[in-house]
Amino acid sequence: MKLLDFPIVKLTLCLITGIIIGSKTSFTVSETLITSCLLLLATFVSYFISKNKFKKTIWFGALAFLTTISIGALITELHNQQSHKNHYSNYYDYDNLNDSRIILKIREQLKPTTYHDRYIANIIQIDSVLVSGKVQLNISKDSTNSKLPVDHQIVIVSKLQALKPPLSPFQFNYKAYLENKNIYAQINSDYSSLTILKTTNPSVLGFANTVRQSIIAKLENYSFKPDELAVIKALLLGYRQDISKNLYEDYANAGAIHILAISGLHIGIILIMLNFLLGFLKRYKYGLYVKTGIILILLWSFALIAGLSPSVLRATTMFTALAIGMNLKRPYNSMNTLAISAFVLLLINPFLLFEVGFQLSYLAVIGIVTVFPMLKPLVRRKYKIPNKIWELLAVSFSAQIGILPLSLFYFHQFPGLFFISNVLIIPFLGLILGFGFFIILLALLNTPQNILFDIYGYVIHVMNSLFKWVAHQEAFLFKDIPMNWFLAIGMYLIILCAINYFKSKSYKRLIGILLSVLIFQALLVYNKWQVTTHDEMVIFHKSRYSLIGFKHGNHLNVSHNLDSTSLHKNNSILSYQVGNFIKQTEFDTLRNIYQFKNEKLLIVDSLGVYPSNMKPDYILLRNSPKINLNRLIDSLIPTTIIADGSNYKSYIYRWKQTCITRKLPFHYTGEKGAFIIE
């Protein structure tokens, strides 16, 4: 009996279970380390006891799975940088109003915003204390300054700011997103406030960034239009920082965002191209070994230049195993290869598990591996072209089946014409990539502008125009679809049971489908009960405006002072509607007094007028009323003071200090998010 006799898929699932347990619990590194060592020892003892027995026991398998779960929890704790003694969070006081002298090393360039260049940086020192840890660095844009290269060390006199949670319910949690990357603070500054110390010994990522930036600089010398050049950078180099919001939305709404993110599709095409170009080596002695070595070097070099994103890492790791199997005549199985790549990557960085791109890329490939073999034989024609079109459609449908529930959970939309984008572009994507790499080679050789560059720019322009046309067929783009985590799990249960049935039809498996449908219906009933029985009042955060929502079951009443255009574009309301399965929303103007269940809310606006004979539970201050807060508290005796985004910051600070002195709860929506009364 050997450990590898146990399916790698099961071990990977155990590792994932351990990572989830480690992320949701507060075990220490020492506790998980001791547990893992004891379980590992027990596994070896069980192995040596049972290896000579004629009848296998379940103890070795059970211990192996428990050990893998424990290892998952252990590596999660080890990769949690906040648990490290020298992490900056153990030394720095975020409430400190004084600036600190902070030494940073630039680690990665992020996509800039309208007003800021953004970076991920490692903190080396705060004042005189040597520390470690990653932060997000936001520097105000300045046309006179160029972006900071990776590996540069800089000094900034500034403050660390704690990350803020989303200010409205159901909005994207950027704080949690950064914390999954071990980033727990940010620094805001400008180029005039920093000093460049030196460029340290280049790291692997720094070298890759230098190579990528040199290629980009060469490409920028040619007459590509901005959108064309942005797509070329993303398609060939994994550099998506220059893609405009509108262009990104066109690709996303057309169901073709995977074309902009280097993933299994790109790596697979590159592997096929390299396999063909290096095919002549197999004629020579040891030629297959040389061919395999060259392919792996080129694949990982491309992955490095593309930034080693989760999708690139997953695809390159998987196709590494595939390339070895193909060229060295080793047996391989797609699902096992996929599981091996996931197992290795999660051992290296367990927090990859919580990245949306990592989850979707794996589920898409799992969908293709499991569903495509069942769909492919359904349509057979005499001619090759119809068969190929059907295969492309089948691959697209298979991938969509794999990601549909999770995609609805994260993005709440479904591109109905995704198959058009894939059928029209994917057959030519290999040519587009190959042509693009040739263009990069010409650019590196300083070839003058010629018709080849014009042709390639036109090809990219046509591709962008196609996706723009598909994206604007709004009748086929289904948006604002409500979905929560347990309904997504219910959908996956139906999909798994259906796949299981169609692989090998039987009465028991048909019963399994029916049971999964019943379970999903039960989840729908539970969700409806949960929505209809839960009422709440929400004071939203909106800069310069006031928004108050009253949820009664699946109905929402919103009191506000926004104009009609701003109201319908307000993401706070839209996110709340989708997250709470709201079916009907009504709008009204603001009043001064609201009653919710047995609690009263009094609004004091810019007039500063309020009834002295009322005893409200909550007081909302809006539009910066000029009041004596101490006198108001003495007169009305509220339980909580609330300030929304319509107030001046100076007023909010003064009110907060008053409430601290009076030991009265104070809630500012711009700091703590929406105030919810249930």
Q: Provide the pLDDT for residue 108.
A: 85
Query: Over 90: is that where the pLDDT of 619 sits?
Result: yes
Band (56; pLDDT cuts 50, 70, 90): low
Cβ neighbours of residue 139 under 8 Å, at least 6 residues apart? 116, 117, 118, 119, 148, 189, 190, 191, 194
Band (608; pLDDT cuts 50, 70, 90): confident
Q: Which of 172-176, 262-266, 547-551 has the lowest mean pLDDT?
A: 262-266
The label of the residue with tokens 């409500």 reads 482
Residue 381 included in any domain: yes
CA of 472: how far to CAs of 449, 466, 475, 477, 667, in Å?
34, 10, 9, 8, 42
Band (243; pLDDT cuts 50, 70, 90): confident
Band (663; pLDDT cuts 50, 70, 90): very high
Distance, first Cα to last Cα, the chain? 58
Query: Over 60: is that where the pLDDT of 93 sits?
Result: yes
Burial zone of 659 (CB within 10 Å; 0-12 exposed, 13-18 middle, 19+ buried): buried
Q: Which of 5-9, 90-94, 175-179, 441-445 has the lowest mean pLDDT?
A: 5-9
Tell me what the mean pLDDT of segment 650-667 comes to: 93
Query: Over 80: is that where the pLDDT of 97 sits?
Result: no
List pLDDT tens digits, range 312-358. 777 788 778 777 777 666 656 677 778 888 888 899 889 988 888 88
Query: Over 70: is that where the pLDDT of 5 sits?
Result: no
Q: Provide the pLDDT for residue 2.
A: 40
Band (646; pLDDT cuts 50, 70, 90): very high
Do 34 and 180 belong to one domain? no
Do 173 and 297 belong to one domain? no
What mean pLDDT, rounded, does the chain reach? 85
Query: Over 60: is that where the pLDDT of 6 sits?
Result: no
Choose one of 182, 201, 220: the last residue of a domain: 201
Band (200; pLDDT cuts 50, 70, 90): low
| Residues 584, 592: Cα–Cα separation, whole Å | 24
Tell me what the mean pLDDT of segment 142-155 comes to: 81
Query: Over 70: is that where the pLDDT of 371 sits?
Result: yes
CB 397 within 8 A of CB 420: no
Residue 206 included in any domain: no
Closest to 578 measured CA to CA, from 487, 651, 677: 487
Range of the domain at 182: 88-201
Do 254 and 271 belong to one domain? yes
| Residues 572, 543: Cα–Cα separation, whole Å | 11
Residue 564 included in any domain: yes
Q: Which DSSP symbol is given to 610? A: -
Do 102 and 227 belong to one domain? no
Tell me what the mean pLDDT of segment 568-590 comes to: 87
Q: What is the largest CA-CA distance in the chain?
A: 98
Tell me what the mean pLDDT of segment 98-122 comes to: 87
Closest to 482 measured CA to CA, from 531, 551, 537, 534: 531
Do 310 and 455 belong to one domain? yes
Do 125 and 153 belong to one domain? yes
Tell me what the mean pLDDT of segment 419-447 comes to: 83
Residue 610 included in any domain: yes
Choose one of 49, 79, 109: the last residue of a domain: 79
Do 472 and 492 belong to one domain? no
**Residue 102 DSSP SS3:** strand
Query: Over 90: is that where the pLDDT of 518 sits?
Result: yes
Give the residue, 6 or 181, on which the prediction is more confident.
181
Q: Provide the pLDDT for residue 555.
A: 93
Residue 364 included in any domain: yes
Write phi, then psi, for 135 (nearest 5 degrees): -135, 160
Tell me what the mean pLDDT of segment 231-249 comes to: 86
| Residues 438, 219: Cα–Cα separation, whole Å | 12
Do 509 and 545 belong to one domain? no
The label of the residue with tokens 């030629």 reads 287
Do 131 and 25 belong to one domain? no
| Residues 562, 670: Cα–Cα separation, whole Å | 18
Query: Over 80: is that where the pLDDT of 565 sits?
Result: no
Give the residue, 322 or 445, on which the prediction is more confident.
445
Residue 22 included in any domain: yes
Tell me what the mean pLDDT of segment 620-639 comes to: 92
Band (98; pLDDT cuts 50, 70, 90): confident
Do 74 and 178 belong to one domain? no
Query: Over 50: is that where the pLDDT of 398 sits?
Result: yes
List pLDDT tens digits, range 272-301. 888 888 878 878 777 788 888 888 888 888
Q: What percent of the chain has pLDDT over 70?
A: 95
Q: How many domains does the chain have?
A: 5
Do 360 and 402 belong to one domain? yes
CA of 339: how far to CAs of 342, 345, 362, 363, 435, in Å?
5, 10, 9, 11, 33
Do 349 and 448 belong to one domain? yes
Closest to 234 measured CA to CA, from 503, 431, 4, 433: 433
pTM here? 0.85
Residue 121's DSSP bridge partners are 106, 135
**Residue 593 DSSP SS3:** strand
Residue 149 included in any domain: yes
Tell me what the mean pLDDT of segment 45-57 comes to: 65
Q: Provide the pLDDT for residue 356.
A: 85
Q: Provide the pLDDT for residue 355.
A: 86
Give the residue, 234 or 58, on which the prediction is more confident.
234
Residue 449 included in any domain: yes
Residue-level length of the chain: 678
Query: Over 90: is that where the pLDDT of 96 sits?
Result: no
| Residues 357, 365: Cα–Cα separation, whole Å | 12
Query: Over 70: is that where the pLDDT of 3 sits?
Result: no
CA of 394: how far to CAs of 112, 262, 375, 431, 593, in Å?
38, 21, 6, 21, 59
Tell me what the mean pLDDT of segment 211-221 comes to: 87
CATH code for the domain in which residue 100 is found: 2.40.50
List pLDDT tens digits, range 469-502. 888 887 777 888 889 999 999 999 999 999 888 8
